[in-house]
Every structure is written in structure tokens, then in C-alpha cells.
Amino acid sequence: MRACRRCHILTDKTTCPYCGEPTSEHWQGYLVVVKPEESIIAEKMKIKMPGKYALKVR
């Protein structure tokens, strides 16, 4: 899995399918967002779309 450098979403693509930024294979920390509109964690991370995310990407 790779992570988008901007939105942190996990994908197997080399370019993020959502924001078009290049993705990186160097990431850590794992976050699954099921219901962003109800989640305080998603709110803190400014995540608005359900999905799997990395906490840190480099």
C-alpha cells in the first residue's frame, strides 16, 4: 500500500485517485474512517471521506 502525500489516503496507485498528488511507500500509523461526519478523530484529521488513511507520510 502507498499513501497520498496530501490527503494521506491509502491506495495502490502511484498517483492519488482523489487529489492527483504523488503517493509514497513510506508511511506509518493506520486510521480507518467509517463515518467521518460522526467521528471526532476524523474531525481532528480533517477527513471528510470514509476510507483507510496513513497518519504520517514522508
Partner 1 sequence: MMETKIFVVKTQVGQEENVANMFEKAAKRIDNKIVAVLAPKELRGYIFVEGYDIDVIKKLIRHMKYAKDVLEKDVKIEEIEHFLFPPSAVANIEEGMIVELVSGPFKGEKAKVTRIDDAKEEITVELLDSMVPIPITVRGEQVRVLKKKEDE
Residue ranges in contact with Zn ion by CB under 5 A: 4, 6-7, 16, 18-19
Binding to partner 1 in span 17-56, by CB under 8 A? 28-36, 38-42, 44-45, 52, 55-56
Phi/psi-derived region of residue 45, left when phi > 0, alpha when psi is between -120 and 50, beta in every other case = alpha
User: What is the side-by-side strand order in the sheet with 2-4?
Assistant: 10-11, 2-4, 23-24
Residue 30 interacts with, from Zn ion, partner 1, none (CB under 5-8 Å by kind): partner 1
Of 6 and 39, the one with the shorter C-beta distance to Zn ion is 6
Q: With CB under 8 A, what is the number of residues at the site for partner 1?
A: 20
What end-to-end distance do the CA atoms of the chain give, in Å?
A: 14
